[in-house]
């Protein structure tokens, strides 16, 4: 289930609480930024989060066939549900599949006060 973004006061936008994403899991969001509405997803690893546009570099489709399911079965990497491209969680680089060597578009996020905040929009 995608969640609407709540706007922050400055250039940063609060997406959700860190604890809203299970450790080792992922979640998709539709965020409204000054540059328009963007579909993104976030993968959580402990106290670290990694965010990307939900758009496969192969043909631009969303990566998740089932909402919020962006990861492989063993949760070791990101998978595109359309043609099976595999991406590293830490940098979004495709290491297998039709867009090999092309990264997912990164989204700048940070954790502040237990909240995941979108920055640099
Ligand atoms: S659309 Fe993602 S691998 Fe083809």
Q: Round the average pLDDT of the chain to a whole number and report it.
A: 90
* Smallest CA separation from ligand 1 atom 3, residue: 83
Average the pLDDT over 66-86 and give the result.
97
C-alpha of residue 47 to centroid of ligand 1, in Å = 29
Q: Measuring CA to CA, how many Å separate 88 from each of 24, 51, 56?
A: 14, 12, 13
Residue 76 has a CB neighbour count (10 Å cut-off) of 12
Residues with beta carbon inside 6 Å of ligand 1? 56, 58-59, 61, 80, 82-83, 85, 97-98
- In the chain, where are the structural domains located? 3-118
Second-level CATH architecture of 3-118: 3-layer Sandwich (2.102)
| Whole-model pTM over 0.85 | yes
What is the structure's pLDDT at 120? 67
DSSP state string for 57-108: TTT---S-SSTT--B-TTSSSEE-TTT--EE-TTT-BEEESTTTT-BPPEE-
């Amino acid at each position: 289930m995608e969640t609407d973004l709540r706007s922050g006061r400055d250039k940063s936008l609060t997406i959700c609480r860190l604890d809203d994403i299970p450790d080792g899991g992922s979640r998709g969001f539709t965020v409204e930024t000054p540059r328009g509405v963007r579909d993104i997803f976030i993968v959580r690893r402990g106290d670290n989060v990694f965010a990307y546009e939900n758009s496969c570099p192969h043909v631009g489709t969303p990566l998740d066939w089932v909402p919020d399911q962006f990861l492989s079965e063993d949760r070791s990497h990101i998978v595109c549900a359309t043609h099976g491209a595999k991406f590293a969680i830490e940098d979004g680089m495709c290491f297998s599949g039709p867009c090999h060597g092309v990264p997912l578009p990164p989204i700048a996020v940070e954790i502040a006060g237990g909240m995941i905040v979108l920055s640099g929009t």
